[in-house]
């Protein structure tokens, strides 16, 4: 468990403080995920420990500033008290062929829930159905299986594909459509069509100017939250409380340092009804610590992570990439 939050340092660092400890790493992925084959992130160390700044490369300063606020919270402030000492997690299945599914699932020992990526560019609905069928076959009828489309479908396509996937007992569909209005309309269409698949909002929460529109438009049954894109653990907890919907905590292809923030968020939630998407360190072919946060018996322990100097050196990004990340931190700093 974490020490009481009031005992932790609360002073905000300067930009020079953050840059002085900045280490940039590039870690290869075991399989392509969200189009990513190498995961670059920046790590910082402060009086409360290590924090991770890892917005995806296409994100601009405004969006990246929330990730920077999360890193500063982790390294200079610390996290709220935990109410549980372990967090159940799901396996994550990228957009692989059905023959590769068993091998992917082996990286998530003890997990009884799987999140399956669907709607991958260049693939078809048949590919998605075959992948989900392979997951259900490998995990058995008692497992929970959810799908994530990253907003790639329109309402008609989502209705068609989710209707086909009901044969595999889907726990929920994560961000099946891009806009809040489409999510709202999809929920109505699914109900009218007798398709019993709950809708979860992810990008409509973490990338939205006003995440409460999901609540106000009744656009989702569940919200998916990530510590870094929402500005840190405390800000994410505030959003969950204000939204009033069940929450699932997920990650953003973090190293174990970044994953620790997601675990801290899940550990501090008053209510946790679903396994969390916090097992993705297993998708990286390397890490920044010798004690990786990977699932044991389907769960992660609630603890801090300390970066290992040797691994930071082994995975160090090229000097020009490190300079790019320093500039990125500077650009985001005034907005954090």
Task: Say yes or no to pLDDT of 102 above 60.
Answer: yes
**Which CATH number is correct for 86-308, 3.30.1330.10, 3.40.50.80, 3.20.20.120, 3.30.360.10?**
3.20.20.120
Residue 57: its pLDDT value, please? 93
Residue 10: its pLDDT value, please? 52
Mean pLDDT (whole number) for 64-84:
97
Q: Which residues of 138-172 are buried (b: 16+ CB within 10 A; e: fewer)?
A: bbeeebbbbbbbbbbbebeebbebbeebeebebbb
Q: Cβ of 85: how many Cβ atoms within 10 Å? A: 11
Q: What is the CA radius of gyration of the chain?
A: 19
Residue 165: its pLDDT value, please? 98
Query: For tokens 């490369």, what's the residue?
Result: 57
Per DSSP, the residues of 203-262 read HHHHT-S-TTHHHHTT--SEEEE-TTTTTSHHHHHHHHHHH-S-EEEB-SS--HHHHHHH
- CA–CA separation, 98 and 100 (whole Å): 5
Q: pLDDT tens digit string along 172-213?
A: 999 999 999 999 999 999 999 999 999 999 999 988 888 999
- CA–CA separation, 144 and 17 (whole Å): 44
Report the alpha-carbon angle 146-190-174, nearest 5: 30
Answer yes or no: are the C-beta atoms of 268 and 239 closer than 8 Å: no
Give yes or no on whether 5-80+310-333 and 86-308 have one common fold: no
Residues annotated catalytic, as ranges: 117, 226
- CA–CA separation, 153 and 177 (whole Å): 5
Q: Where are the domains of the chain?
A: 5-80+310-333, 86-308
* Of 107, 130, 106, 124, residue with least CA distance to 116: 130
List, in order, residues 6 or more apart from 52 with CB less than 8 Å away.
41, 42, 43, 44, 70, 71, 74, 228, 254, 255, 257, 258, 261
Query: For tokens 């990786």, what's the residue?
Result: 292
Residue 203 assigned to a binding site: no
Residue 322: its pLDDT value, please? 98
Considering only residues 10 and 165, tell me which one the structure prediction assigns the higher pLDDT: 165
Q: pLDDT tens digit string along 90-101?
A: 999 999 999 999
Answer yes or no: are the C-beta atoms of 269 and 240 closer than 8 Å: yes
Residue 209: its pLDDT value, please? 80
The CATH H-level superfamily of 5-80+310-333 is Enolase-like, N-terminal domain (3.30.390.10)
Q: pLDDT tens digit string along 20-34?
A: 999 999 999 997 877
Answer yes or no: are the C-beta atoms of 239 and 225 closer than 8 Å: yes
Answer yes or no: are the C-beta atoms of 289 and 50 closer than 8 Å: no
Answer yes or no: are the C-beta atoms of 333 and 68 closer than 8 Å: yes
Helix (H, G, I), strand (E, B) or coil at 33: strand
Residue 207: its pLDDT value, please? 84
Task: Say yes or no to pLDDT of 219 above 80.
Answer: yes
Residue 238 assigned to a binding site: no
What are 51's two structure tokens? 């924090």
Polymer length of the chain: 336
Residue 221 assigned to a binding site: no
Calculate what percentage of the chain has a pLDDT beyond 70. 96
């Amino acid at each position: 468990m974490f020490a009481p939050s009031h005992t932790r340092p609360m002073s905000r660092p300067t930009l020079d403080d953050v840059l002085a400890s900045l280490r940039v790493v590039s870690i290869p992925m075991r399989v392509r995920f969200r189009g990513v084959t190498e995961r670059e992130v920046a790590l910082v160390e402060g009086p409360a420990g290590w924090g991770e700044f890892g917005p995806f490369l296409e994100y601009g300063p405004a969006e990246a500033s929330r990730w920077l606020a999360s890193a500063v919270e982790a390294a200079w402030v610390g996290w709220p008290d935990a109410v549980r000492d372990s967090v159940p997690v799901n396996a994550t299945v990228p957009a692989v062929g059905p023959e590769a599914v068993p091998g992917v699932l082996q990286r998530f020992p003890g997990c009884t829930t799987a999140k399956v990526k669907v709607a991958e560019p260049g693939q078809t609905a048949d590919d998605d159905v075959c992948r989900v069928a392979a997951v259900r076959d490998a995990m058995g009828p008692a497992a929970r299986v959810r799908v994530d489309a990253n907003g790639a479908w329109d309402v008609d396509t989502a209705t068609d594909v989710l209707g086909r996937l009901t044969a595999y007992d889907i726990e929920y569909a994560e961000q099946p459509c891009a806009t809040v209005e489409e999510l709202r309309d999809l929920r109505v269409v699914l109900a009218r069509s007798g398709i019993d698949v709950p809708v979860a909002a992810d990008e409509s929460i973490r990338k939205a100017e006003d995440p409460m529109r999901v609540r106000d438009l009744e656009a989702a049954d569940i919200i998916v939250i990530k510590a870094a894109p929402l500005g840190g653990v405390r800000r994410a907890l505030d959003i969950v409380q204000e939204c009033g919907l069940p929450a699932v905590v997920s990650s953003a292809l973090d190293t174990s340092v970044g994953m620790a923030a997601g675990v801290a968020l899940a550990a501090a939630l008053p209510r946790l009804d679903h396994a969390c998407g916090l097992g993705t360190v297993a998708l990286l072919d390397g890490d920044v610590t010798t004690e990786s946060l990977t699932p044991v018996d389907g769960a992660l322990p609630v603890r801090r992570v300390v970066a290992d100097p040797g691994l930071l050196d082994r995975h160090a990004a090229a000097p020009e990439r490190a300079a790019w990340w320093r500039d990125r931190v500077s650009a985001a700093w005034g907005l954090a």
